[in-house]
Amino acid sequence: MTPNGWLQILLFLAVVLAVTKPLGLFMTRVFEGERTFLHPLLRPVERLVYRLTGVDERREMRWTEYAASMLLFSLVSMLALYLIQRLQGVLPINPQGLPGVDTAASATGGYVGSAFNTAASFTTNTDWQAYVPETTMSYLTQMLGLAYHNFASAAVGIALAIAFIRGIARKEANTIGNFWVDFVRCNLYVLLPLCSVFALVLVSQGVVQNFRPYDTARPLDPQSAVQTIAQGPVASQEAIKMLGTNGGGFFNANSAHPFENPTPFSNFLQLVSIFAIAAGLTYTLGRMTGSQRHGWAVLAAMVVLFLAGVTTAYWAETRGNPILSGAGVDQTVSAGQSGGNMEGKEVRFGQAESTLFATVTTDASCGAVNSMHDSYTPLGGLVPLVNIMLGEIIFGGVGSGLYGMLIMVILSVFIAGLMVGRTPEYLGKKIEAYDVKMAMLYVLIFPLIILVFAAVSSVSSSFGTSQLGNAGPHGLSEILYAFTSGTGNNGSAFAGISANTYWYNTAIGVATLFGRFMMIVPMLAVAGNLARKKAVPPSLGTFPVTSPLFTTLLVSVIVIVGALTFFPALSLGPVVEHYLMYAGQTF
Amino acid sequence: MADKSKKISIWDQKIIRRAVVDSFRKLDPRTMMRNPVMFVVEVGSCLATLQLVRGIISPVQGVTDTLFELQITLWLWFTVLFANFAEAMAEGRGKAQADNLRRARTETTAKRLLPGGKTEVVGAPELRKDDLVLVEAGDFIPSDGEIIEGVASVDESAITGESAPVIRESGGDRSAVTGGTRVLSDWIKVRITSNPGETFLDRMIALVEGASRQKTPNEIALAILLAGLTIIFLLAVVTLQPFAIYSNAPQTIFVLVSLLVCLIPTTIGGLLSAIGIAGMDRLVQHNVLAMSGRAVEAAGDVNTLLLDKTGTITLGNRQAAEFIPLPGVTEAELADAAQLSSFADETPEGRSIVLLAEEKYGIRGRELAPHEARFIPFTAQTRMSGVDLGGREIRKGAVDAIEKYIAGDDGGARLREARAALTVAVRSAAEVSGGAATKELREIVERISKQGGTPLVVADGRRALGVIYLKDIVKGGMRERFDQLRQMGIRTVMITGDNPLTAATIAREAGVDDFLAEAKPEDKMALIKREQSEGKLVAMTGDGTNDAPALAQADVGVAMNTGTQAAKEAGNMVDLDSNPTKLIEVVEIGKQLLMTRGALTTFSIANDVAKYFAIIPAMFSGVATLSALNALNVMGLRTPQSAILSAVIFNAVVIIALIPLALRGVKYRPMSAAALLRRNFLIYGLGGLVAPFAGIKLIDVIIHAAGLA
């Protein structure tokens, strides 16, 4: 670890904290229906959208209707993406002439469930990519299918978070907002303007944006094979890939690819954009619930967990591999070399920017990568895995991170709230049996999906372990990571596992759907139930949700509940691998 | 206050013996199913037992380790039994209370009144609602009822533990009688108000026995949380086996069940119902009966306490605080006259005047022979009392009454005169005793009224001497208690019939947050509804029939046992001591109950960390490829068997160790929620994290020394 590295990490955090308030304030105004500086331009467009779609923007929905609208919308979008993929061979804007996904002519040579996996994965903001984009997806599919979902799934997440906040903030109300209105406003006022600006900045850094067929480059050495230079409309997709915590790369190498992430500046902006909206939403939470300090306390918990993760990963990676040190390899970090464990990392990013990226992309459910997590040291690789296992709530996916965190807040308040001698209440709302039931359901579904799928895969040699690139504990980490990433809607790959198979495509696809929608429904049920309640005015006897003590408590509950759930599995994966590495054994 | 004889020691041998038997009886799976956490442990124990038997019958070389397996199986069963024991202990204490009460429910006979005025003797169980019975001195009152005629002193010690008899009379707020109590003197006619099996005593017995115990809302919510955690850990353990198989280290049933039992929240799961029963029990020990556990929980949540001024905040009666003479009169002169006028005044106010004169001015009581003194008692007409002594006519009374008297009113004849005439009288009084003196008198009277006191004017003949300042005396320690309540975030509102001026003064002196002056029952009701509409929970006490609607509306309504049947029916708690101040203790007990639940839940969850560090390395360190995991054995436990056994034993023993805490409750301290949270989080959170490391290590050392593993 170097002072320079820490400076980069802390500068990143400082910028994220700096954009929290302005973004949060802006989103509050947007979702409260107040005027913003964009209204003169966009309000007519918004009205037009409602007129065309027949949405009454003043009509409020109960949580059940909100959930049903969201599910229906997601289902239709998902089917559309599935069809676009299968039919891309006959659709336009396909200069490479790529065949339909899962067809006999495609790279997989037949049906392996890849189109379903991708459709599920992009609908759920996961963006797990079993396919290789440059040889699989046409430009039309990338833009109309994938980039569309990058906007849609992000807007759905943010809308849900706003609905949840309304549930907390409203008193004796039956409704939690209108899904269509929240969705439209999120896209129109938040995502589209931000992404337009961001995409242009990325272009200025060298991110490509064109519709040309791939170029070929003839190396000077005639013996070498001809290289194909993939390109396309990258910048427009890159912006929402980061801001919407989607993470699905235009290219297989994702943000390690120079066309996606060409410069240190673009790398820094991508990092900030992953956290920006999630951080801003904590401010929106404080604003809308009238307890700004609670918003900051929640953000503080996220920051603490983020710092713990990045410190561990950065430390483990710069420390490098002891076996190499034993063999006389110089792994020290110096001006002349990046140092540490550089396998799978870009030299241009070095240790700090790589481990920071790995931490940020898994804290948030982004899943974009600028280095290969599979090549990390066991502890370095444990960090991304644990980040996702904690439920994608350290900033988390846009919207989903906040509502996931708030479910943990409710559980923390319930467990510890009793200790102040009152039945637990959260910002004046009593936490009762129904809320606990739904919150537990939310918490329960997550490990259920991960552990069951991973357990099945780990004992099946025919479809499970046969796809592993590594044996022993590292292989187990690969399986665990795949299902954790899918269920957590992260989408980053540990790699090392050939997941473009029928079993993994189907299982991970199902995991993404369950991990998203089976958790959203109980979450919305909590929101609807909270909205109906009376609010007890705060007093000295009220459980404090604004203090550093609360933040400590929240972090403890998240870590203990998360760790207790996954520690047995992790102990046989990265944990034992770590000790074995120090005993001189690798996998 | 609570009768000491009602307190039952935690270590009462009889209860423990009964509890031991009950803990085996409770192994019935149908009973266990009600507690999902412990049911999982029981199923695990059964699995281990089956496996143990299988291992004994056909041992597998290199796998079967009968000594270890036997010990694990036994300790798993102990875990279930210990949890059952905790519940049985709590119930046993309730049963012991119930036995005390049952003694009062002796089979009695009743004299039922027949239409003709005659009586017939019937067994008490034959009495039905609306029957009329005659109860004479020495008789037990056969069932709950309302006195319709007569007045009697009643021994209610069977129910309240209070040995002093109480007066019960028809009409008003003291007309309710309870079955099982005994009439000591006189006779009463009682209209029976409840059918057999539904009497107050019956309900009390059922309540303390836990027969009608239903899970409270918060208990249900907590049970859901615990069930959820149990499922999560079940998942973690069940899926660990495939991962272990992948790692070539399959585990035995014993190890997996041990891990599961250690992880699921058995500590709180085993003690949860005991905590609830014990909370009710603590109320009973304070001589308060809660009609439901829900009410106890609500007590912990109370935001606003409505307290009646008289009897709760102030002593029931006003007391003389000062003698304020008019110009030209010495204090001693006034004190002497005041004392003389009060010798025959047996009211607490009168006695306080005699006492004040004695203490402050050393005026000793004098023997007044009846022939030289004629006492004038207080009547509602004259509203004065006093004494005629050697030609002196000393009077004391309300200012207008005395002014009339001074003006030459004989105290009776002109009483019914109109207000206009009074003004004339006052004017004439001014002529008699001098304008300045009257003005002075008015000023003093006004000042005292403003301060919330009651002025009593003393006159000697036609001359006003000065004013006795009667003051409401705030009970000792009330200010501190209100301060404590404020720290806990509870607002106190004083309810009084006094005018706002008086109310404000007493409110200030007592340190309550707010007051409701000139309160009528409907005002009280409106106040409760207003508070509740803001989401607050309200607690109050009451005894009169006109309190009943408010008692029913309040979230916690404590009815006084001396109160009417209607009040008792309306409230959700009854205070057998009829001490309205006890509302504060009720709130504390509610809070204590919730805190105990929270503390043990936190403790239980925090415990898991250490158990992982004991069991996980033990599971895998025996496998050559995974032995590196022994690095996690931070406690340095001797052998894998001993590590697992120690964790299981710790897990079981901690239930027993925490039974006293569950039954007594976490110590309650009045402080803000933030301070309480910090304190309890440190003790039960951090303590729960650290304690098992030490505990498991200690058990490991003992096991190893004993050569058990």
Give the pLDDT confidence of A407-426 residue by residue, as tens digits.
999 999 998 888 988 889 99
pLDDT value at position B416? 42
pLDDT value at position B691? 95
Count of beta carbons in the 10 Å neighbourhood of residue B316: 11
The token pair that represents A296 in the structure block: 């900051």
Q: What is the mean pLDDT of residues A266-274?
A: 96
Confidence check: pLDDT of B672 > 60: yes
Q: How far is A116 from chain B (nearest CA, A)?
A: 27
Q: Are A486 and A129 in contact (CB under 8 A)?
A: no
Mean model confidence pLDDT for chain B: 83
Q: How far is B187 from chain A (nearest CA, A)?
A: 48
Q: What's the rounded Cα separation, in Å, for the pair B364 and B626? A: 95
Cross-chain CB nearest to B236 (options A418, A568, A575): A568
In B, minimum Cα distance to A542 occurs at: B673
Instruction: Classify the phi-psi angles of B362: left when phi > 0, otherwise alpha if psi is within -120 to 50, otherwise beta.
Output: left
Confidence check: pLDDT of B173 > 80: no
Say which residues have a Cβ less than 8 Å from residue B608's Cβ, sequence separation at least 6. A560, A564, B262, B263
User: How many Cα atoms are found within 13 Å in the side-chain-facing hemisphere of B523?
Assistant: 13
Confidence of residue B5 (pLDDT cuts 50, 70, 90): very low
Q: What's the rounded Cα separation, in Å, for the pair B296 and B585? A: 11
Lowest mean pLDDT of A63-72, A208-217, A363-372, B354-363, name the range.
Answer: B354-363
Q: Are A154 and A398 in contact (CB under 8 A)?
A: yes
Q: What is the mean pLDDT of residues A443-458?
A: 96
Q: Which amino acid is at B341?
A: S
Confidence check: pLDDT of A392 > 70: yes
Say which residues have a Cβ less than 8 Å from residue A401's Cβ, sequence separation at least 6. A245, A278, A281, A302, A364, A365, A392, A393, A394, A395
The residue ranges of every structural domain in chain A are 20-217+228-290
Q: How far is B699 from chain A (nearest CA, A)?
A: 23
The token pair that represents A303 in the structure block: 């920051």
pLDDT value at position A427? 93
pLDDT value at position B211? 53
The helix/strand/coil state of A352 is: helix
Q: What is the DSSP pairing of strand B314-325 with strand B304-308?
A: unpaired
Beta-strand runs (E) in B115-180: 119-123, 132-136, 145-155, 166-169, 176-177
Q: Are B513 and B492 in contact (CB under 8 A)?
A: yes
Angle of helix B583-620 relative to helix B293-301, nearest 10 degrees, comes to 100
Say which residues have a Cβ less than 8 Å from residue A248's Cβ, sequence separation at least 6. A121, A122, A127, A128, A129, A133, A146, A150, A241, A367, A368, A491
Confidence check: pLDDT of B536 > 50: yes
Contact list in B for residue A561 (CB cut-off 8 A) is 232, 605
Do the chains contact at A419 and B680, CB–CB below 8 Å?
A: yes
Confidence check: pLDDT of B395 > 90: no
Confidence check: pLDDT of B565 > 80: no
With tokens 């160790």, the residue in question is B657
Confidence check: pLDDT of B212 > 60: no
| Interface predicted TM-score of the whole assembly (ipTM), two decimals | 0.94
Beta-strand runs (E) in A370-441: 425-426, 429-430
Q: Phi first, then psi: what are they for B496, rounded to 5°?
A: -150, 155
pLDDT value at position B418? 40
What are the tens digits of pLDDT across the range B35-83? 999 999 999 999 999 999 999 998 888 778 899 999 999 999 999 999 9
Do the chains contact at A560 and B608, CB–CB below 8 Å?
A: yes
Confidence check: pLDDT of A438 > 70: yes
Instruction: Classify the phi-psi angles of B226: left when phi > 0, otherwise alpha if psi is within -120 to 50, otherwise beta.
Output: alpha
* DSSP string of B160-172, one letter each residue: H---S-EEEESSG
Q: What's the rounded Cα separation, in Å, for the pair A325 and A345? A: 18
Of A151, A124, A156, A79, residue with least CA distance to A488: A124
Do the chains contact at B673 and A418, CB–CB below 8 Å?
A: no
Lowest mean pLDDT of A29-33, A152-156, B432-436, B632-636, name the range.
Answer: B432-436
Could you tell me how many helices (H) and strands (E) chain B has, helices first?
Answer: 24, 20
pLDDT value at position B105? 63
Share above pLDDT 70 across residues of chain B, in percent, rounded to a whole number: 90
Contacts A–B by Cβ distance under 8 A: 229
Q: What is the mean pLDDT of residues B246-259?
A: 94
Question: Which positions of B are catalytic?
Answer: 308
Containing A144, the helix (H) or strand (E) segment is: none
How is the beta sheet containing B384-389 ordered, strand by strand?
B314-325, B463-474, B454-460, B392-397, B384-389, B373-376
Mean model confidence pLDDT for chain A: 94
What are the tens digits of pLDDT across the range A559-583? 998 888 999 999 999 999 999 999 8
Q: What's the rounded Cα separation, in Å, for the pair B551 and B208? A: 22
Confidence of residue A386 (pLDDT cuts 50, 70, 90): very high
Contact list in A for residue B490 (CB cut-off 8 A) is 539, 541
Q: What's the rounded Cα separation, in Å, for the pair A139 and A152? A: 18
Do the chains contact at A435 and B601, CB–CB below 8 Å?
A: no
Say which residues have a Cβ less than 8 Å from residue A453's Cβ, sequence separation at least 6. A483, A487, A507, A508, A511
What are the tens digits of pLDDT across the range A184-230? 999 999 999 999 999 999 999 999 999 999 999 888 888 888 889 99
Q: Are B147 and B186 in contact (CB under 8 A)?
A: no
Q: How far is A579 from chain B (nearest CA, A)?
A: 6
Cross-chain CB nearest to B489 (options A411, A415, A542): A542
According to the 3-state scheme, what is the secondary structure of A32-59? CCCCCCCHHHHHHHHHHHHHHHCCCCCC
pLDDT value at position B437? 61
Q: Which residues of B197-210 are buried (b: 16+ CB within 10 A; e: fewer)?
A: eebbbbbbbebbbb
The token pair that represents A458 in the structure block: 């780990």
Q: What is the DSSP pairing of strand B314-325 with strand B514-516?
A: unpaired
Do the chains contact at B620 and A571, CB–CB below 8 Å?
A: yes
What are the tens digits of pLDDT across the range B124-165? 778 888 888 988 888 888 888 888 888 888 887 766 666 677
Q: Phi first, then psi: what are they for B558, rounded to 5°?
A: -100, 115
Confidence of residue B497 (pLDDT cuts 50, 70, 90): confident
Q: What's the rounded Cα separation, in Å, for the pair B340 and B350? A: 10
pLDDT value at position B417? 42
Q: Are A246 and A366 in contact (CB under 8 A)?
A: yes
> Which of the 8 DSSP states describes residue A179?
H
Q: What's the rounded Cα separation, in Å, for the pair B573 and B666? A: 23
pLDDT value at position B210? 64
Range of A78-92, A320-334, B458-472 with top mean pLDDT: A78-92
Could you tell me how many helices (H) and strands (E) chain A has, helices first?
Answer: 22, 4
Q: What's the rounded Cα separation, in Å, for the pair A524 and B527? A: 35
Q: What is the mean pLDDT of residues B268-274?
A: 92
Of A483, A458, A484, residue with least CA distance to A471: A458
Record the pTM: 0.87
pLDDT value at position B411? 43
Cross-chain CB nearest to B605 (options A415, A444, A583): A415
User: How many Cα atoms are found within 13 Å in the side-chain-facing hemisphere of B339?
Assistant: 21
The helix/strand/coil state of B489 is: coil
Of A366, A316, A312, A377, residue with least CA distance to A344: A377
Do the chains contact at A564 and B237, CB–CB below 8 Å?
A: no
Cross-chain CB nearest to B228 (options A444, A473, A544): A444
Do the chains contact at B601 and A415, CB–CB below 8 Å?
A: yes
Q: What's the rounded Cα separation, in Å, for the pair A215 and A219? A: 13
